[in-house]
């Protein structure tokens, strides 16, 4: 709500990464409703909010994985934010968010390539050294074919990331393309870490090896930059639009 030269902001958002250590919060708030040919549309504005302002409360959350950083919930109660703290223009928040979201989705998949490569390296090294029934376990196709699937998955994601990054750079990436990269990369990392853990057998679930941590850490990747279901929703709607009759 506008009040003179300020906005009074109320609301709550759960899951804000690193909010405990941040000095400022980049906040998207509804500052009105516009009439458009497609009907009423919320006017979204982006603000830079000083975390020390009265009315801002940050509470940490404990997570399954990624314990090296904190996720938090943020509550705002009658927080007075000067209009000069608007990033971009009033009502221009969606375009700012869109650019971040698209690049975030490509970056997520790039991270997953690195993580999956490390998981494959650990699994392949283990398969070359652990012996069972008189052979290294890599000699059993039940193990080695998992490594083949990992290599295919990783290579495919790498190519998707390179394509997505080139389109980001050129400013031509579409919502569908960003979702495809994110969906494939996050699910790929789930498959690879799960198979890597399986290759290590019982050792995979111990703290002796980093695979259990990687397996836990990647679980959120299918959630936090848009859930797999939301990505499938975006992609499928676009496919249906493309072939509309
Ligand atoms: C550790 C962590 C850190 C995060 N950090 C940040 C951050 O820094 N900043 C930030 O803004 N957000 C952050 N998020 C929030 C994240 O973006 C959301 O968790 C994510 O978008 C999913 O929203 P949700 O949790 O409300 O799930 P919900 O929307 O409640 O979804 C629950 C389930 O319902 C399904 N579902 C919901 N709607 C549909 C639909 N239309 N069609 C099909 N299925 C549907 C979902 O796919 C999911 O399976 C973080 C989340 C986590 C877990």
CATH of the domain at 171: 1.20.140.10
Q: 100: CA distance to ligand 1 center in Å?
A: 16
pLDDT at residue 99 greater than cutoff 90: no
- Identify the residue with better confidence: 100 or 39: 39
Q: Compute the Cα dihedral for 23, 25, 26, 32 and give only its sign.
A: negative
Q: Greatest CA separation found in the chain?
A: 80
Same domain, 118 and 234: yes
For position 69, what pLDDT does the model report? 84
Per DSSP bridges, beta strands 135-136 and 6-17 are unpaired
- Kind of pairing, strands 131-132 and 2-3? unpaired
The mean pLDDT of 96-103, rounded to a whole number, is 89
Residues 6+ apart with CB under 8 A from 224: 15
CB atoms within 10 A of CB 17: 12
Query: Which pLDDT band holds residue 92 (cuts at 50, 70, 90)?
Result: very high
**In the predicted model, is pLDDT for residue 98 greater than 90?**
no
Q: What is the pLDDT of residues 106-129, one digit of tens each?
A: 999 999 999 999 999 999 999 999
Helix %, strand %, coil % for the chain, to 5? 55, 25, 20
CATH number, position 37: 2.40.110.10
Answer yes or no: do 98 and 78 share one domain: no
Domain boundary residue, one of 64, 91, 118: 91
CA distance linking residue 134 with residue 132, whole number of Å: 5
Q: How many domains does the chain have?
A: 2
232 and 114 in a common domain: yes
- Ligand 1 in contact with 229 (CB < 6 A)? yes
Helix (H, G, I), strand (E, B) or coil at 17: strand
**Same domain? 20 vs 51:** yes
Ligand 1 contacts CB of residue 28 (under 6 A): no
In this predicted structure, the answer to whether residue 155 has a pLDDT above a threshold of 90 is yes
Distance CA(206)–CA(194), nearest Å, equals: 14
pLDDT reported for residue 1: 83
Tell me, yes or no, whether 83 and 113 share the same domain. Answer: no
For residue 245, what are the contacts with CB-CB under 8 A and spacing of at least 6?
none
In this model, does residue 146 exceed pLDDT 90? yes
Q: Are both 178 and 137 inside the same structural domain? A: yes
pTM of the model: 0.93
182 lines ligand 1 (CB under 6 A): no
Average pLDDT (94-112) is 93
In this prediction, residues 60-76 reach a mean pLDDT of 92
Mean pLDDT for 149-167 is 98
| Burial of residue 127 (number of CB atoms within 10 Å: 0-12, 13-18, 19+) | buried
Query: What average pLDDT does range 220-231 have in this prediction?
Result: 98
As a whole number, mean pLDDT of residues 93-114 equals 93
Q: What is the mean pLDDT of the chain?
A: 96
Question: In this predicted structure, what is the pLDDT of residue 60?
Answer: 92
Among 114, 145, 139, CA closest to 127: 139
Same structural domain for residues 117 and 235? yes
> In residues, how long is the chain?
245
Give the 3-state secondary structure of residue 101: helix
Residue nearest to atom 29 of ligand 1 (CA): 227
Q: What percent of the chain has pLDDT over 90?
A: 93
Whole-Å CA distances, 178 to 50, 125, 128, 154: 31, 33, 37, 17
| pLDDT at residue 68 in the model | 87
The range of the structural domain enclosing residue 110 comes to 94-242
């Amino acid at each position: 709500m506008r009040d003179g030269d300020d906005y009074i902001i109320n609301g709550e958002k759960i899951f804000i990464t690193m909010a405990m250590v941040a000095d400022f919060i980049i906040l998207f708030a509804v500052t009105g409703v516009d009439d458009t040919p497609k009907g009423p549309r919320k006017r979204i504005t982006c603000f830079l909010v000083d975390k020390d302002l009265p009315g801002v409360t940050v509470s940490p959350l404990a997570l399954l994985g990624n314990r090296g950083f904190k996720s938090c919930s943020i509550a705002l109660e009658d927080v007075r934010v000067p209009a000069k703290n608007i990033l971009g223009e009033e009502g221009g928040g969606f375009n700012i968010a869109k650019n971040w979201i698209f690049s975030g989705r490509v970056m997520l998949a790039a991270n997953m390539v690195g993580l999956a490569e490390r998981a494959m390296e650990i699994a392949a090294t283990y398969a070359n050294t652990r012996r069972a029934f008189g052979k290294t376990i890599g000699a059993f196709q039940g193990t080695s074919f998992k490594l083949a699937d990992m290599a295919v998955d990783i290579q495919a994601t790498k190519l998707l990331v390179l394509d997505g990054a080139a389109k980001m750079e050129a400013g031509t990436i579409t919502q569908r393309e960003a979702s495809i990269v994110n969906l494939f990369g996050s699910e790929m990392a789930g498959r690879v870490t799960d198979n890597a853990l399986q290759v290590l057998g019982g050792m995979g679930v111990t703290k002796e090896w980093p695979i259990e941590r990687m397996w836990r850490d990647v679980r959120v990747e299918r959630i936090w930059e848009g859930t797999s279901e939301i990505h499938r929703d975006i992609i499928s709607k676009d496919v249906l639009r493309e072939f509309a009759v």
